[in-house]
Amino acid sequence: MKCYHVNEQGYYGEFGGAFVPEILHKAVAELQQQYLRIIESEPFQQTFRQLLRDYVGRPSPLYLANRLSEKYGCKIYLKREDLNHTGAHKINNTIGQILIAREMGKQRIIAETGAGQHGVATATVCALMNMECVVYMGKTDVERQQPNVRKMQMLGATVVPVTSGNMTLKDATNEAIRDWCSHPADTYYIIGSTVGPHPYPDMVARLQSVISEEIRQQLQEKEQRDYPDYLLACVGGGSNAAGTIYHYLDDERVKIVLAEAGGKGIDSGESAATIQLGKSGILHGSRSLVMQNEDGQIEEPYSISAGLDYPGIGPMHAHLARTGRATVLAVTDDEALRAAFELTSMEGIIPALESAHALGALAKVRFDPGDVVVLNLSGRGDKDMETYLREIERFTNKD
C-alpha cells in the first residue's frame, strides 16, 4: 500500500522536509520533537475539543443540499465550515497552534496573511489567550482587504505592511520568517496552511482533521455508512482539503477531487494552478510543486480569490497529485463565480470565493446517481461581497 502520511523525516514521497536557515534549526527541531506529544496529550485534547465546541461552534453541520443534488444527479452534502467563528476553517488550526505555543512557553505570536483570514483567526486566538500578536501582510493586500485589517487591529494585533516583491502573501511569508529568525527563542510562528517546514504541514493537517472525523460520524448517522464516494475541496496551501480528506487518505473507496485556482485559464499566464503548472522546488521551508520560471524564480500567481493566490502548495497535496491518489482540477475565476451565484440562488448560502472553486468542480466530474459526495464549504462569502456585487450582472441576468 502506498503511504500518504508524513514519514519520520517529514516527507511525503519526494516532497516536504525542513529547509530552514541555520538560526531557525533549534526552534524547528524543538517543534518537531514536541508537537505530537503535545497534540496527543490529554490536557491538550480536552482544551482543544472544548474550545472547538463552545468557542468555534463545532461540530459544523453536514447539510444535504437538495436542489444542488438534483442538478448534479447525485447526493451532495456540504460540510459547513462557513458557520465557524470567524467564518472559515482557519480557526481550527489557530486554536490548536496557540495551545501548542502556550505549552512550549512562547510569549509572542507572529503570522502571515494574504486576504487577512488567517490574520483575523490568529488575532482572535491571541486576544482569547492574551498573547502579543504581529501579523505580516503585503501592502497590496493591506490596501485591498481593509475590513480584515481593521478587525485584526480591533482584536489587538499589530499589522505590518510588507513592501518587498509583489507586496502579497509570498512576501508577507518571507517577512514573517525573517521576524522568526530574529526572535527564535520567545516567538511562535502560526503558519496558516499545510505549508512550511516539517512539522507544519503534518501539524496543521492533524489540527484540521477534526473536519473528516466529524464527516465520518455525520455520514454514519445520515447514510448508515461512514464514508462518501467523493470528497471535494479547494486548495490554496491545502489545509481545508487536508482536514477534509485526512481520515480517508488510505480508504481507496473514497475518490478525492481537489480544485485549484485556474484564474483566467491555466494557459493564460494568469493563474494559481500550482499542481498543474508547478515544478519541484523549495519554497518557504519545504520541497513541493512551485510555480517558477526556468531560472527557479518564483512566478507571481493570480486568482480572483485571495486565499488561493499562492505560488506553492502543501507537500502532502503535491504527493497526492503525483501518486494519482487525488484528481486535481483547475477551476477558473468565471467558473467559480458562476458556482457561487448558483449556490446562493439554489441553497441560500453565499460561499467564500475559495470555496466556490470546489463548487465549480462539480460540473467537471461525472457522478453516478447513487454517489454520496461531500464538499467542504471552507468559508463564507462576507469578505467577497465587493467582488460578487461587481460581477453579479454578468452571471445572473442571462438566459
Ligand X SMILES: *Cc1c(COP(=O)(O)O)cnc(C)c1O
Q: Indicate which residues carry an active-site annotation.
A: 90, 112, 378
The backbone region for 196, taken as left when phi is positive above 0, alpha when psi lies in -120 to 50, beta otherwise, is: left
What is the bridge-based pairing of β-strands 372-377 and 230-234?
parallel
User: Which of 26, 28, 24 shows the shortest CA–CA distance to 10?
Assistant: 28
* DSSP SS3 for 285: coil
Tell the smallest beta-carbon distance from residue 204 to ligand X (Å): 8
Tell the smallest beta-carbon distance from residue 113 to ligand X (Å): 9
Looking at the Cβ atoms of 27 and 195, the one nearer to ligand X is 195
The cell for 84 is: 465557524
Q: In the bound complex, which residue of the shown chain has the CB atom lying closest to ligand X?
A: 379
Give the footprint of ligand X on this chain (CB under 6 A). 88, 90, 117, 193, 234-241, 307-308, 352, 354-355, 378-379
Looking at the Cβ atoms of 360 and 379, the one nearer to ligand X is 379
In contact, 77 and 372? CB cutoff 8 Å = yes
What's the CA gap between 310 and 271, in Å, rounded? 10
The cell for 332 is: 477558473
Looking at the Cβ atoms of 167 and 358, the one nearer to ligand X is 358
Looking at the Cβ atoms of 88 and 111, the one nearer to ligand X is 88
User: Which of 102, 99, 107 shows the shortest CA–CA distance to 132?
Assistant: 107
Tell the smallest beta-carbon distance from residue 118 to ligand X (Å): 6
What's the CA gap between 146 and 322, in Å, rounded? 38
Looking at the Cβ atoms of 199 and 237, the one nearer to ligand X is 237
Tell the smallest beta-carbon distance from residue 272 to ligand X (Å): 11
Q: Is 367 exposed, middle or buried (0-12, 13-18, 19+ CB in 10 A)?
A: middle
Looking at the Cβ atoms of 184 and 381, the one nearer to ligand X is 381
51, 107, 160, 196, 306 from 102: Cα distances, Å: 15, 7, 23, 20, 30
- What's phi and psi for 184, nearest 5 deg? -65, -25
What's the CA gap between 395 and 161, in Å, rounded? 35
Looking at the Cβ atoms of 181 and 266, the one nearer to ligand X is 266
Tell the smallest beta-carbon distance from residue 352 to ligand X (Å): 4
Please, what's the b/e burial string for 312-346 (b: 16 or more CB within 10 A of its CB; e: otherwise)?
bbbbbbbbbbbeebbbbbbbbbbbbbbbbbbbbee
Tell the smallest beta-carbon distance from residue 194 to ligand X (Å): 6
17, 127, 180, 383 from 120: Cα distances, Å: 28, 10, 20, 12
Tell the smallest beta-carbon distance from residue 338 to ligand X (Å): 18
